[in-house]
């Protein structure tokens, strides 16, 4: 029996790391992310792109980590796209989180631990050109 989504593989498309802070400088971290899922037209395969940035709120040009991670998923076509969206997010997020922690741990600074993101309680916007479902 297939779960809603099954991660087939992932890759890191981009890493951008800037650290111009002096050792011991205080940093007030902020983060932002974009998440998008594209569905293949002829197969039950989806490509998810997780674009995540952590930065210093006061001076973002002096400290930031920006990563883009792409995952390929098989999905159950009987499940609503919004559920596929949240399930692929939940499957890919641990890889993004671990990547940011690993980058910072290997760069001579305190490792950054990204807090969990409650995707179930966030609005999902669809920009696929279709009209919203009235169900």
pTM for the complete prediction? Answer: 0.84
Q: 42 versus 69: which is more confidently predicted?
A: 69
Model confidence pLDDT, tens digit, residues 117-127: 878 776 655 44
Q: What is the mean pLDDT of the chain?
A: 88
**Segments forming the whole domain that contains residue 66:** 5-121
Confidence of residue 3 (pLDDT cuts 50, 70, 90): confident
Distance CA 69, CA 52 (A): 8
pLDDT of residue 132: 40
Number of domains in the chain: 1
- pLDDT at position 30: 93
Q: Please report whether residue 32 resides in a domain.
A: yes
Any domain includes 127: no
Q: Is residue 104 part of a domain?
A: yes
């Amino acid at each position: 029996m297939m779960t809603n989504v099954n991660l087939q593989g992932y890759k890191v498309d981009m890493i951008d790391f800037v650290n111009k802070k002096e050792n011991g400088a205080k940093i007030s971290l902020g983060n932002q992310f974009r998440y998008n899922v594209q569905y293949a037209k002829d197969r039950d395969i989806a490509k998810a792109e997780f674009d995540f940035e952590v930065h210093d709120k006061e001076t973002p040009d002096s400290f930031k980590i920006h990563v883009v991670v792409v995952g390929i998923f098989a999905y159950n076509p009987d499940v609503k796209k919004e559920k596929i969206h949240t399930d692929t997010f939940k499957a890919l997020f641990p890889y993004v989180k671990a990547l940011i922690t690993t980058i910072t741990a290997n760069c001579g600074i305190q490792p950054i631990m990204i807090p969990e993101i409650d995707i179930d309680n966030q609005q999902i916007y669809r920009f696929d050109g279709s009209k919203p479902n009235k169900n």
